[in-house]
Amino acid sequence: MTIGDVLIIGGGLHGCSAALHLARRGLKPVILERDWPGRHASGVNAGGVRTLLRDPAEIPLALAARRMWHAIGELVDDDCGYKTVGQVAIAENDAEYDRLKARAGTVRQLGFDHEELIDRAALRSMVPSLARHCVGGLAVREDGFASPYHTSLAFRRKALALGARLFEGAEAERIDRVGENWRIEAGARTFEAPVLVNAAGAWAGEWAARLGDTVSFRHILPMMMVSERVPPLVEPVVIASGRPLSLKQMPNGTVIMGGGYLGFGDLRTGRNRTDFNGLQKSAATVAELFPALRGARIVRSWAGFEGRMADDIPVIGPSAAAPDAFHAFGFSGHGFQLAPIVGRILADLIATGETDLPIRPFSANRFAA
Amino acid sequence: MTAFRHDVAVVGAGPAGMAAATAAAELGLDTVLFDEQPAPGGQIYRNVEANRDAGSGLAGLLGDDYGRGRRLAEAFRAGSATYAPGTSVWEIEPDGTVGTLHDGRAALVRARRIVIAAGAMERPVPIAGWTLPGVMTAGAAQTLLKSADAIPDGPVVLAGSGPLHYLVAWQLVSAGAEVCAILDTTPRANTRAALAQLPGALGQLAQIRKGRRWIAGIRAAGVRFVRHVSALAAVGTERLAAVDYEADGRKERIETPLLLLHQGVVPNNQLADSIDCARRWDDVQACWHTQADAWGATSVDTVAVAGDCAGIGGALAAEHRGRLAGIDAAARLGKIDAGTRDRLSREPLAALRRLAGLRRFLDTLYAPAATFLSPRDEVVVCRCEGVTAGDLREVAAHGCMGPNQAKAFTRAGMGPCQGRMCGLTVANVIAGARGRPVADIGAFRVRPPLKPLTVGQLADLEGVGRDIASLDAMPTRPGDGAGDGAGETA
Amino acid sequence: MFRKRRDADRQRVRIVFDGRTIEAEAGATVAAALLCNGVVAFRDPVVSGTSRGPHCMIGACFECLVEIDGTPGQQACLVPVREGMSIGRQAPLPAVAP
């Protein structure tokens, strides 16, 4: 039997971030990971560190996370491949530009000033290789990207260095409340702790249901593809506002294209496939928006398991049904940037019962009719 | 979803692919064969239709076995299978979809059954300096002989082990190339181990004698033949200048602009791996084999493998394995009944049994020395990204568990060759560093496109038939009937 | 590096490599044509180290990448020569113009 202060289901970025922050507070977290940390969404996502175009409910968390990203080395002793290159959502026509303009107004009214509406000329100077038809955009110059797998490893390494324990290949099979403790059986091993954290990513919906929470959740497999190394072409992360696309060029010259279409996967086996019916659409969008990339060779495509909520914002906070159980899941394709702050929020909640960030919109019981 | 356009799609026009397509077409199936080369033959029978002119002497040099390929190609051409040369296959799917690239145009086509006959490639031979221009494989030299009637224009050294090593050496010597030396790296211990397998191979003595004849031919020509060579290294600054090695406890150097390496062949199993066909590690051949039944049927029920791509059996076996896959396709698609399938299969199955003993003997005798599987720290393993064995051992020490994590740690396997040249070595090096069998360490997950495709080619992809969900457009309300459709395996 | 074993009576074509016109046998691959004309190093290294040249000749190693008629990243060992074809040594980061 392994005993700790907190059992964390899921060794992805969010599980490791929670473990890191719990360990900083002197607690003893134990992480159970069915595969290995970073095997799924945490390690294979697009790596966008984006406050741009966040759901209003997420903005305070995203801005708090951004401060942590800008000093990520202080948190995990590793730069995580993070670069502040900016992010820009582009408008391809006046209607899209009007929507971005309205969005900018909404965000300002909420009291935030991180998003900047830019005109055609400013967009041109920010992304000279972009197709001429684009009329403007909405930008956050303090956003950027990081290397997802390196980030997952860095959080894992730091959590373990601070005293967290991690069990890989430990697929939790059975969960029981035994006295004041949660008991989990995974294969031949048994784990016990008074507090439980559900950070099980694409598998988190099942765990929420087992704890008695009714959430509107499904798993999805966002697809991505990467080119060979090409000369410097795009500095900021570019997202389309009227159709699915996210594109960035890594420091080594490869271009990562995604943000749009979904692949196939089997939750039970963890295997997944990309679908070229969708990747063709992504490629067509890239070819139209970045004519210079038409000749770039795609060397690989992939998809990663991810959890998605019906309202596209995560569940963060205590279970509505079970005692001493907390959730952090359902990030709906944009949880990477939030990981540093969400781990801290969970640690705050577990250690003190409260947090200074507004998490009410992310409650587990919001789907109850 | 793309409509079915063919009953069977065969990938590869080597002996297995030609035999599979010929048999399938003969039994009434609408068959298409995609092949990257401009003419049928695969690597073993490359350019077999053009090299028929006995007067050039090339046909003689290539031997009687090569003539067998000519008859296969003739039968294939005479049959009704559609032949698509110059066509790369960059992905396949379990639903029978095949992604092709021909003349710069990409398309998706669909068949009820896919037969993968992608053949073999030479086992990459990671030694110090092997990325220098002037270091090639023995097979590369043979390809130049077969396809261009070209031989090395100056001194050449061959270093390695295995039937193709001796055959190419003999062919180059016979063709008049200036062969300085044949360096034989076969470990001493292999001979004793192989002797135990000899009884099983006695039925194929003619094949064994052939190898002895090549070696005798090389020696008779007065070419230096050095046995039990170790510590092989290619030396040079801008290009190859010399080969270093050790033999009989002495360090030696031979100056040469061209070094040909060979350590046997390994399956080209990227296509089967890409759709998660079950595989197993073969300790004797030190490579992965796609698991298949006697007819080549894999764990993916629409897909069969035939020939060396599923496990090395050689050209003769490949032909029988291809024929079996073609017969089985006809049975599965209702053109023949089970009894007919079994009757037609009897002869190729018997032929395969006869060949199996010889294969075990050859595999044991020419098993690569350990250093070629897991080289020293300073040796480049991933040629595309310049990752060394030492880099891999270092990340293994920091918790990297297998090849897929090694990709993210080091970029090994992430260059244009997509891990073809380093996959086996990466797995071996990490297995060694972690003290675990390779079978437990696993292999690179293979991700399409298996051949690079440009953004423009993909944007203009023809045959796209399925409208698929996007993150933005997908309905997410509970109970809306969309269910987990997008999340289930296709 | 390589030479024709004997002069066949096949048709010959002219191709240009880095500005130099060379003759090749029709039907030969670009890699075979270059190797038979003394070209060994086909491209600059992407990451580090020395230039690269053909290694496997069967399309597996991707070392023989060249620029053909303005399109970079072509596998010289798979592409047959054509009259007038213009072939360039590939830079470490090939341009990606269409």
Which residues belong to CATH 1.10.10.1100 in chain B?
374-441
| CB-based contact A229 C71, cutoff 8 Å | no
Task: Indicate the class that CATH gives domain B374-441.
Answer: mainly alpha
Q: Per-residue pLDDT tens for A43-78?
A: 888 899 999 999 999 999 999 999 999 999 999 999
Q: How far apart are CA A154 and CA A150, in angstroms?
A: 6
Q: Per-residue pLDDT tens for A300-353?
A: 999 999 999 999 999 999 999 999 999 999 999 999 999 999 999 999 999 999
Q: How far apart are CA A310 and CA A158, in angstroms?
A: 33
Q: How far apart are CA B296 and CA B293, in angstroms?
A: 5
For B136, the closest of C28, C48, C55 (CB atoms) is C55
A14 and A106 within one domain: no
For C98, the closest of A228, A231, A291 (CB atoms) is A291
The chain A residue lying nearest B486, using CA atoms, is A264
Residue in the block written with tokens 């067509």:
A284
Gap from C3 CA to chain A (nearest CA, Å): 33
Q: How far apart are CA A112 and CA A52, in angstroms?
A: 11
C11 has a chain B CB within 8 A of its CB = no
A253 has a chain C CB within 8 A of its CB = yes
For B137, the closest of C55, C62, C73 (CB atoms) is C55
pLDDT score of B87 = 95
Which residues belong to CATH 3.50.50.60 in chain B?
6-121+266-336, 124-263
Q: Which of A158, B416, A366 is nearest to C60 (CA)?
A: B416
Task: Indicate the class that CATH gives domain B124-263.
Answer: alpha beta
Which DSSP string corresponds to A119-134? EHHHHHHH-TTS-TT-
Q: Per-residue pLDDT tens for B65-77?
A: 888 999 999 999 9
Average pLDDT, integer, range C18-30: 92
Mutate which of B44, B136, B417 to disrupt the C interface (most C C-beta within 10 Å)?
Answer: B136
| CB-based contact C72 A293, cutoff 8 Å | no
Interface of B with A in 268-297 (CB under 8 A): 275-276
Q: Per-residue pLDDT tens for B403-433?
A: 988 988 888 998 889 899 999 999 999 999 9
Q: Per-residue pLDDT tens for A84-140?
A: 999 999 999 999 999 999 999 999 999 999 999 999 999 999 999 999 999 999 999
Query: Could you tell me if residue A181 is inside a domain?
Result: yes
Helices (H), chain C: 30-35
Please check the confidence at residue B54 and state whether its pLDDT lies above 60: no
Gap from A221 CA to chain C (nearest CA, Å): 29
Q: Per-residue pLDDT tens for A191-223?
A: 999 999 999 999 999 999 999 999 999 999 999
A160 and A292 within one domain: no
- State the maximum Cα–Cα separation within chain B, in Å, rounded to a whole number: 81
Give the structural domain span for A59: 2-64+148-217+310-367
A178 and A299 within one domain: no
CB C58 within 8 A of CB B143: yes
The structure tokens listed for A143 are: 């956003």
Position with higher pLDDT, A264 vs B63: A264
| CB-based contact B147 C98, cutoff 8 Å | no
What CATH number does residue A198 fall under? 3.50.50.60
| CB-based contact A279 B459, cutoff 8 Å | no
Gap from C47 CA to chain A (nearest CA, Å): 10
Residue in the block written with tokens 């005293």:
A163
The chain A residue lying nearest C97, using CA atoms, is A292
How many domains is chain A partitioned into structurally?
2
The structure tokens listed for B302 are: 């629409």
Homologous superfamily (CATH) of B6-121+266-336 is: FAD/NAD(P)-binding domain (3.50.50.60)
C15 has a chain B CB within 8 A of its CB = no
A302 has a chain B CB within 8 A of its CB = yes
In chain B, residues with a C-beta closer than 8 Å to the C-beta of C11 are none
Residue in the block written with tokens 């060394």:
B388
Query: Could you tell me if residue A50 is inside a domain?
Result: yes
Please check the confidence at residue C98 and state whether its pLDDT lies above 90: no
Please check the confidence at residue B209 and state whether its pLDDT lies above 50: yes
What CATH number does residue A98 fall under? 3.30.9.10
A19 and A124 within one domain: no
For B466, the closest of A157, A244, A277 (CB atoms) is A277
| CB-based contact B478 A310, cutoff 8 Å | yes
A233 has a chain C CB within 8 A of its CB = yes
Gap from C66 CA to chain A (nearest CA, Å): 14
C48 has a chain A CB within 8 A of its CB = no
| CB-based contact B148 C29, cutoff 8 Å | yes
Average pLDDT, integer, range B297-319: 96
A93 and A60 within one domain: no
Q: Cβ contacts of residue A323 below 8 Å, gap of 6+? A: A177
Mutate which of B11, B125, B143, B144 to disrupt the C interface (most C C-beta within 10 Å)?
Answer: B144
Average pLDDT, integer, range B29-39: 95
Whether ipTM tops 0.90, in short, is: yes
- Listed residues A303, A321, A337: the one ending a domain: A303
Query: Could you tell me if residue A242 is inside a domain?
Result: yes
- Listed residues A285, A303, A321: the one ending a domain: A303
In chain A, residues with a C-beta closer than 8 Å to the C-beta of C73 are 228, 297
Interface of B with A in 101-130 (CB under 8 A): 108
- Listed residues A255, A280, A303: the one ending a domain: A303
Q: Per-residue pLDDT tens for B166-197?
A: 999 999 999 999 999 999 999 999 999 998 88
Q: Which domains does chain C have, with CATH numbers?
A: 12-88 (3.10.20.440)
For C94, the closest of A230, A291, A293 (CB atoms) is A230
Q: Which of B79, B91, B101 is nearest to B21 (CA)?
A: B79
Q: In what order do the strands lie in the sheet with A165-167?
A: A165-167, A29-32, A6-9, A195-198, A325-329, A315-318
> How sure is the predictor about B141, in pLDDT bands with cuts at 50, 70 and 90?
very high
| CB-based contact B386 C47, cutoff 8 Å | yes
Q: Which of A98, A104, A16, A120 is nearest to A54 (CA)?
A: A104
Query: Could you tell me if residue A254 is inside a domain?
Result: yes
